[in-house]
Amino acid sequence: MKMWMRKSLVALFTIATFGLVSPPAALMADKPTEHQNIKQTGYTAVYQKQEESQPNGEQESKSSFNLYKNELLNDAEDQSFIKFGDRISPVIEEEYREEVLPKIEEAIVSHLMTLKDNDDYQDLVISKRPAAGKSEKIFHVYNRKTGEDVLRFHVRRDKPPHKGYWFNFHYHTAEDGFQKHHDLGSIYWDRNTPPNWMSH
């Protein structure tokens, strides 16, 4: 209802009742005009519709990052068990999953987080050929565009005096030229010499 019409009705009501009865509250309320109401309601509806129809960029980015991260971690796990082979896997699998694998995943995720904001994390992949025999390489994380390693995950056979054989898991980073050993933990094998990696 327009403002001038409302004021006219209030005046007419007051004259008709000789001022003995107050005009209805609906006429006295200071409401926005219909035009303003429609404009605001329309804007809100359009805004809400746009909000619902447009994908949340941040959520989409986070989802994409998590998918990529999970794919990398699955590849890392697969390459580990290819490395261990059928003879070593059954003996160390449980301890490896509980003690070492979470630390490997933590190291990979930590590096991914440094690249998350500029999407460079999507260039990282896991190498597909663990080293057989007595070689240390489990897998490397490298940049597929440049071919350069960023992380190298290895396992070394240790034989401390009178303590049998141990598998020492560690990794190296490109930051220090792959010189420093970052320890991930050790798993006891046996007093007997372990079979070669990838033995069946």
The span from the CA of 81 to the CA of 161, in Å, is 28
Report the share of the chain in percent with pLDDT over 70: 72
Asked whether the beta carbons of 195 and 88 are under 8 A apart, the reply is yes
Per the listing, tokens 């420093």 go with 180
Three-state SS sequence of 177-199? CCCCCEEEEEEEEECCCCCCECC
Is residue 141 scored above 60 in pLDDT? yes
pLDDT in tens, 5-52: 666 666 665 666 655 556 665 555 554 444 444 344 443 444 344 444
Cα distances (Å, whole numbers) of residue 44 to 35, 38, 49, 66, 89: 14, 10, 8, 33, 60
Asked whether the beta carbons of 27 and 13 are under 8 A apart, the reply is yes
Quick one: average pLDDT of 163-170? 97
Question: For residues 23 and 196, which has the higher predicted lDDT (pLDDT)?
Answer: 196
Flag the least confident range among 86-95, 98-107, 117-126, 144-153: 117-126
Q: What is the pLDDT of residue 188?
A: 98
Please, which pLDDT band fits residue 199 given cuts at 50, 70 and 90? very high
Is residue 179 scored above 60 in pLDDT? yes
What does the mean pLDDT of the chain come to? 84
Please, which pLDDT band fits residue 167 given cuts at 50, 70 and 90? very high
Is residue 189 scored above 60 in pLDDT? yes
Quick one: average pLDDT of 53-71? 79
Q: What is the pLDDT of residue 48?
A: 46
Please, which pLDDT band fits residue 62 given cuts at 50, 70 and 90? confident
